[in-house]
Amino acid sequence: MIKKAGVIWDCDCYINKYICDNDIGGEIITPQMLATPFYKGRLVAVLIPTGFGNPAYSGLMPALKATSGRIRKFVEKGGRALVFGAMYEKEGCYDWLPFKVKYTHEYFNSPVITKGDSDYCGIVKDFNENGIECDGYFPEYEGECIAETADGRCIMIEKKMGDGFFIVTSIHEFPSRDFLTGICSGDSEIIF
């Protein structure tokens, strides 16, 4: 079993240490690397951390929009993409995804209810599910809602595409260790 992830971000960030602490091989994919045709990372998953849509935190949006086809192809070939909350109130932060996702930015704490039979419902396993921090919710989306708040707001979507899938979540916590290991593990690496 191969455990390897690329973190799409401007520089080394908080989630990299967490990935390495879980014995997952990881690398940073900067906007410049993402846009160059010469970058050919061999990965199981890509992670896009919280705040990617907010220009105060990150400069990723232009690169994500310019390389949306590349990300889609990676997923279709069997890769996995974990996308966290945009942390920005302007619409369009998820327009680069190859499916519809509308995000409402709102910071809150809520009990979380996992739904369905997805292998990835365990994202909050290491936390008290009666009070999880979220940075928004998804009032409209394509895919399956696999986690929601106690009052029915969708906070995690799974969208299968080709041989892989996207997980989009507004949960504002590190994913559980088992969840992270599961999403970043596979039988083979996919060329990004």
Q: What is the DSSP track for the chain?
A: -EEEEEEESSS--HHHHHHHHTT-EEEEE-HHHHH-TT---EESEEEE-TTTT-TTT---HHHHHHTHHHHHHHHHTT-EEEE------STTTTTTSSS-EEEEEEEEEE-EEE-TT-TTGGGGTTS-TTSEEEEEEEEEESSEEEEEETTS-EEEEEEEETTEEEEEE-B-SPPPHHHHHHHTEESS-EE-
pLDDT digits (tens, 9 = 90+) for 110-144: 999 888 777 777 787 878 778 899 999 999 999 99
Per-residue confidence band for 34, with pLDDT thresholds at 50, 70 and 90: confident
Q: What is the largest CA-CA distance in the chain?
A: 46
User: Cα separation of 52 and 108, whole Å?
Assistant: 19
- pLDDT at residue 117, rounded to an integer: 73
pLDDT tens digits, residue range 49-72? 999 999 998 999 999 999 999 999
Instruction: Write down all domains in the chain, each with its CATH number in brackets.
Output: 2-191 (3.40.50.880)
pLDDT band per the 50, 70, 90 thresholds, residue 163: very high
Which residue is associated with the tokens 């590190």?
174
d(CA 28, CA 33): 9
pLDDT of residue 118: 72
